[in-house]
């Protein structure tokens, strides 16, 4: 069965690789939109114009389900996409609920793009799951480009991680699939003072459930 994976850039490659490893019997179709990077500073209206034809094209190619491996797209426009794309769409969004259950200090940090942090969906997640939890949101606006260009600014990452730790965060949520490529570095800098989480494995578990229903 064809499984689609979409992201603005290299973040989708990480997700596609994890899916291929977990589900080797399926064909993974990866689509990116590097010509229009970055997505993390674009409006929902701009994103809809860019993403809708790509998703519809993937469905037309025979993808039976599409993983939206972009937190910005998921939190901003996935509901609109679902009304115009004829196959199931599985989104990836910041793991606010799991983080709220893991924290012992009552403070979590969410590393995400500006558009994700402004989105209605993300702020709804915070209102539901973080009523009594402090949420630190360091400025990671340059991270996606940094990862995309493969020029990692360790000092910038250290500054953001330290900001979270200094605020007593004991869970760091990676709210952009680009950041998966520097997950090990973030963990190294956090030095076991905070747990670092991202949604690849939960999304793969959900994907397995959807595939079982489709087969």
Q: Which residues are catalytic?
A: 70, 176
> Are the C-beta atoms of 179 and 147 separated by less than 8 Å?
yes
> Are the C-beta atoms of 215 and 1 separated by less than 8 Å?
yes
d(CA 189, CA 191): 5
186 closest CA partner among 144, 154, 147, 146: 154
CA 8 → CA 18, 39, 80, 121, distances in Å? 17, 7, 18, 19
d(CA 181, CA 91): 19
d(CA 133, CA 97): 11
* Ordered alpha helix ranges (H), the chain: 11-22, 44-60, 71-82, 96-102, 114-118, 120-129, 143-148, 154-166, 183-190, 200-214
């Amino acid at each position: 069965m064809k499984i689609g994976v979409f992201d603005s850039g290299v973040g989708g490659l990480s997700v596609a690789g994890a899916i291929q490893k977990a589900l080797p019997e399926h064909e993974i179709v990866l689509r990116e939109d590097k010509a229009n990077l970055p997505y993390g500073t674009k409006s929902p209206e701009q994103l809809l114009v860019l993403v809708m034809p790509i998703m519809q094209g993937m469905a037309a190619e025979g993808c039976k389900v599409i993983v939206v491996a972009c937190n910005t797209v998921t939190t901003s426009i996935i509901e609109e996409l679902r009304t115009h794309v004829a196959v199931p769409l599985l989104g990836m969004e910041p793991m606010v609920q799991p983080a709220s259950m893991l924290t012992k200090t009552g403070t979590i940090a969410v590393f995400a793009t500006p558009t994700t942090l402004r989105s209605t969906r993300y702020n709804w997640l915070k209102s539901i799951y973080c009523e009594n939890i402090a949420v630190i949101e360091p400025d990671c606006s340059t991270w996606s480009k940094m990862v995309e260009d493969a020029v990692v600014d360790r000092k910038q990452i250290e500054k953001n991680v330290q900001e979270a730790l200094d605020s007593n965060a004991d869970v760091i949520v990676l709210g952009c699939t680009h950041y998966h490529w520097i997950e090990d570095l973030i963990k190294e800098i956090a030095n076991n003072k905070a747990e670092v989480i991202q949604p690849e494995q939960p999304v793969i578990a959900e994907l397995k459930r959807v595939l079982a229903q489709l087969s």
